[in-house]
Structure 1
């Protein structure tokens, strides 16, 4: 999209773009503009206009002094040289050290401050979050959903323990919102492939009219590092219960007089949300099923843990994980994308290895991995 006006422009990165999209769609607060100096001062106590506000909405950037935008002017936002939104500039002020902690530069993200901060209402040209919010509201009306549970997942990749957690949430809820979180670093399955795998699971194994995926692409939620914002986001999207695992990397659980406490405690009464911290789920080779470490009587030496790094190590080396860890059809989807065109003649390979209905069946790499796992599971000759 090219600009028709000669407005001031500034480049932003993809993470800033997705964070702006969440602000605009009131995921963090009903307030959805970039804050001016007087508004920033009102957030000092961690609240703003009666709402929790752990990070003020301070937009910091760099300008040459002669290129400062004018008040009332639209400052266009560029992403990869395309206009993806604009800020209607209401105030420009010098950045200060006290502004360093902000929604774009949290404790988990150290981007530093530019020379100036820009305040004002803004638009961002993306409909993804808005569309999912609309879908949530539609289902709430159609299903008369009152009990709405949020489940925060990186699903990197979605495994059997994730599946059990989601099913447990559905059992107690009218609607479950799966917040699919961004991951950071290189040793991760990319967001689109993780989303595809979760969608496949929902469409094939769940009542999909009771489950919605909310994609959180901004790094602010990367790998569960900001649980307070997860809780606030779940509340603002209509959830009244948040389900997380005991191994959630950011909850900071501690005990006081034998009572468990977490980082959520500061805002939990304001949001009136129920927080469910589930114990670790493992596969027990004595129970022959997925169990909680709190309920299984067998020792940890009988437990197979759902360690995502271990599962990814298999996938990244082209090996299908055991089906007690990841569904074979989900592994097939991931491997076929991680290793496209891995085999020279996939059709011929399938025809020689696998039985068929007697008719010519066209097969792709995803079919190959699924059929191969079925052969591995044949037990009469083992």
Structure 2
């Protein structure tokens, strides 16, 4: 059996395949599934899936492999899983453009993908060291929790930021529609300058403690990497939350976007197209951007306020990050004081910075 050292993101993909979070995947994509996802937003059997999940290896190792080969996937000296090789292929820069709508190295998802090897191996994976999945988020557990709470309808919310007033607005809409709200922040790899897992989870725990009805909200982190793939990743996030037992999923403005690579509602457009083409198995709530209107004196959207062009105060994770990085206190229009103070209390607020001195 061949042996190959894997990184943390690859390990997490294997774990999420094993637990069913990435259903219907049973392993890393082979060439046929990969090309179908890139071209048609679905696997080769027609099942909707919008982002490639692939295993990259160095060229020398790639050349040794044949169909039927087995690979022991090694993490920190332990065999975490095995991969049964079905095929191997190479990806191109053209593929990256189709996935990300850009090949610009300034795009963090593109840069991360370019740093990987272009040589990919597809095949079934199997966890052999069960300690790797003992505490992993999984659909069996989340569905058990939802049943215990007697929730029949559950709205999922994806985030990589602490809660601010715009996201609070969206979540309260979800709570009006559904029995329960599942807040499921990304806790895997994110780009430098994003909020740390500690900051995000601390903010949400404080929000639930002080403001939300505790019996109607469940918080758990999702260990997977951000890809910043905009529209494709928005639907990918919906598929994951469907697998975790959600009946509804919120897609907001520039979901999973970064910089100016995607238009504000590109994710809405793609989601609507795929809803017509496939059975997604989850109802999408395509919600417009909440902002503070100085004229209306409250959080609104352009669907219920006529002052977008004249009185809008934008609220976003990017703006909140800029305030906190400069040591400023965001106006309560944007962020509750209790949440701001909770963020300041953590050891490290941003990824890539030194621990905050208390």
Bin the TM-score by the shorter chain. Answer: 0.7 to 0.9
What does residue range 310-325 of structure 1 map to in structure 2 within 5 Å?
310-325=319-334
8 Å Cα contact 2:268-2:286 kept in structure 1? no
1:83-122 residue pairs with structure 2 within 5 A? 83=78, 85-91=80-86, 93-97=87-91, 107=100, 108-109=109-110, 110-111=113-114, 112-115=116-119, 117=121, 119-122=123-126
**2:74 maps to which of 70, 74, 77:** 77
In structure 2, do the counterparts of structure 1 residues 130 and 142 end up closer, same or farther at CA, with 3 Å as the change threshold? same
2:314 corresponds in structure 1 to: 305
RMSD between superposed Cα atoms in Å: 3.7
TM-score by length of 1: 0.70
Aligned to 1:237: 244
2:20 is matched with 26
Equivalent-residue separation in structure 1 for 2:28 and 2:334 (angstroms): 44
Q: In structure 2, how many angstroms separate the alpha carbons of the residues matched to 1:203 and 1:223?
A: 33
CA deviation digits over 1:163-189, x for unaligned, max 9? 121111112111222231367432221
Q: Which has the larger radius of gyration?
A: 1
Matched with 2:218 is 212
- Give the counterpart of 2:55 among 50, 53, 59: 59
Q: Distance in 1 between matches of 2:62 and 2:13?
A: 28
Give 1:159 shift: 0.6
Counterpart CA distance in 1 for 2:69 and 2:134 is: 28
Aligned 1:1-382 pairs, distance under 5 A: 8-35=2-29, 46-55=42-51, 57-62=53-58, 64=60, 68=64, 73=70, 75-78=72-75, 81-83=76-78, 85-91=80-86, 93-97=87-91, 107=100, 108-109=109-110, 110-111=113-114, 112-115=116-119, 117=121, 119-123=123-127, 125-127=131-133, 130-131=136-137, 133-155=139-161, 157-181=162-186, 184-222=190-228, 224=230, 226-248=233-255, 249=257, 253=265, 262-268=269-275, 269-298=278-307, 300-337=309-346, 338=348, 342=357
* Structure 2: stretches of 5+ with no match in the other structure: 101-108, 350-354
Quick check: 2:56–2:120 contact (8 Å CA) kept in 1? yes
Higher RCO, 1 vs 2 (CA within 8 Å, ≥6 residues apart): 2
Distance in 1 (alpha carbons) for counterparts of 2:12 and 2:302? 37
Q: Secondary structure at the match of 2:16?
A: helix
Q: Alpha carbons of 1:245 and 1:99: their partners in 2 closer, same or farther (altered >3 Å)?
A: closer
Q: 1:66 to 1:26 in 2, by over 3 A?
A: closer
Q: Measure the CA separation in 1 of the matches of 2:73 and 2:217.
A: 36
How far off is 1:100 after superposition?
9.0
Counterpart Cα distance in 2 of 1:278 and 1:67: 48
User: How far apart are the structure 1 equivalents of 2:221 and 2:58?
Assistant: 30
Residues 161/89 of structure 1: CA separation in 2 closer, same or farther (3 Å cut)? same
Hey, what's the Cα distance between the residues in 1 that align with 2:308 and 2:124? 58
3-state DSSP of counterpart to 2:84: strand
**CA deviation after TM superposition for structure 1 residue 271, in Å:** 1.6
CA distance in 2, matches of 1:126, 1:98: 32
* Structure 1 residues 168 and 84: CA distance shift in structure 2, 3 A: farther
Contact 1:143 1:174 survives alignment (8 Å): no
> TM-score, length-normalised on structure 2?
0.75
